[in-house]
Amino acid sequence: MAGRRTNLALAALLGIAAASGVVAFGIGTAWVRPVLITHGLAAVAIIVLAPWKTAIASRGLKRERGGSPLSILLAALVVVTLISGIAHSVFNVIAVGPVTIMQVHVTAAVSAVIAGAVHVWQRPQRFRTSDLSRRNFLRVGALAGVAAFGYIAVEATTKAAGLPGGNRRFTGSHEQGSFDPPEMPVTSWLNDTPPTLGAAHLLTVTSPTGTGEMTMDQLMAFDDRVTATLDCTGGWYATQEWTGVRLDRLIDATGTSVRVVAATGYERRFPMADVGKLLLATHVGGRPLSVGHGAPLRLVAPGRRGFWWVKWVSEIVIDDRPAWWQPPFPLT
Ligand code: HEM
Ligand SMILES: Nc1nc2c(c(=O)[nH]1)N[C@H]1C(S)=C(S)[C@@H](COP(=O)(O)O)O[C@H]1N2
Ligand SMILES: [Mo]
């Protein structure tokens, strides 16, 4: 029956969209590109199947066998996810009222995955080995082809019409305030509020061989520079020239990983092999950091998404835990 096939395809597409979205969130290097293209293709394929699903759904709603409110909620969540995704990617809509469009997108998507799991559990669709027929492979191929056509059409129209989405980075982010730090947004991962740390701020360095402290004057004696792009999962990026001290200059102990800890408690752990690329910045664009951007000391982590760029750094800790010994995304 055609309904069963459509339902199975939609369940798979929702899973593919969610998985590729989460992966895209975690990655700041160019190989995220194919992941995001997969994300867009899955989204277009969901839209392509919408007419079939509407027919299945209206049949089901007439039968009223329970669970309908949840099914309608699921449909609404998917619609909100699709609209917010396109609003961000194509039109660079930044916020609706107090929430950012990416917060809407991710919250609706995660809720849709949960509602979708319950929905599938209430209405299991058996997968049969006969589904692996040549004819069904052709159907999947046709769906992929139509989705690719739709995706390319959206991208081409976006570029031709000069819409903001024509210039987005390989992460999908839009440029905001490059080489102009005051124009760069001030962002927190969740709810960190900027602490005011005076000139007397100290950096504590802890390793298996002991603990030391460094004053801001000592740190500012260095003049390491890097031009790097801060790319927030909120959907914007900015390239700046950062000045400060490379992390490897402050580390004379051996260990497996380094924790970079903020005065607020926010922290990320990095592999020891990365310390030559990480910079503790005191200045951006030749001027001292503002409090919002992490004064007096913030991490610059080239090639990593914004949530790794710990602001208001007060402590670095070297130890032997593996670098993956932390939640994949910050919890505070
Ligand atoms: C589960 C169902 C999901 C659907 C149906 C969906 C749908 C979409 C759509 C339609 C777009 C615009 C695509 C384009 O124009 O190229 C988009 C963009 C995006 N979505 Fe999702 N999404 C889902 C889940 C997620 C999740 C869970 C995350 C992150 C945790 C995420 C992160 C992103 C990002 C970063 C973009 C921007 C990509 C770009 O600009 O090309 N999505 N999404
Ligand atoms: N201490 C601390 N550092 C943090 C965050 C935070 O919430 N707390 N947010 C991170 C996120 S998600 C981003 S995108 C960047 C934003 O840096 P900006 O405010 O200078 O633009 O800081 C990162 N560093
Ligand atoms: Mo961010």
Q: Which ligand places an atom closest to the C-alpha of 155?
A: 1
Cα angle: 38, vertex 233, 237; to 5 degrees: 105
Place of tokens 């899955």: 42
Q: Is the CB of 113 under 6 A from ligand 1?
A: yes
Question: Which atom of ligand 2 is nearest to 187's Cα?
Answer: 19
DSSP track, 179-191: T-GGGSPP--SSS
Place of tokens 């750094």: 313
For ligand 3, the distance from its centroid to the CA atom of residue 308, given in whole angstroms, is: 9
Ligand 2 residue neighbourhood (C-beta within 6 Å): 184-189, 192, 230, 232, 262, 264, 266, 292-294, 306-307, 309-312
Instruction: Please choose from 13, 35, 41, 89 the residue to mutate so as to test ligand 1's pocket, defined by most ligand atoms within 8 A of CB.
Output: 89
Q: Hey, is 193 helix, strand or coil?
A: coil
* Cis-peptide into 296, omega within 30 deg: yes
Residue 111 burial by Cβ neighbours in a 10 Å radius (0-12, 13-18, 19+)? middle
Q: Identify the CA nearest to 116 among candidates 5, 1, 10, 2.
A: 10
Q: What residue owns the CA closest to ligand 2's atom 16?
A: 187
Which residue puts its alpha carbon closest to atom 9 of ligand 1? 85
Rg (CA), the chain: 24
Is residue 90 a contact partner of residue 154, using CB atoms and an 8 Å limit?
yes
Task: Compute the distance between CA of residue 116 and CA of residue 108 in angstroms, rounded to an integer.
Answer: 12
| In contact, 266 and 213? CB cutoff 8 Å | no
CA–CA separation, 332 and 330 (whole Å) = 6
Atom of ligand 2 nearest to the CA of 188: 7
Has this prediction a pTM greater than 0.75? Answer: yes
Instruction: Spell out the per-residue pLDDT of the chain, length 332, in tens.
Output: 568 899 999 999 999 999 999 999 999 999 999 999 999 999 999 999 999 999 999 998 888 777 789 999 999 999 999 999 999 999 999 999 999 999 999 999 999 999 999 999 998 888 888 889 999 999 999 999 999 999 999 999 999 999 999 999 999 999 999 999 999 999 999 999 999 998 899 999 999 999 999 999 999 999 999 999 999 999 999 999 999 999 999 998 899 999 999 999 999 999 999 999 999 999 999 999 999 999 999 999 999 999 999 999 999 999 999 999 999 999 98
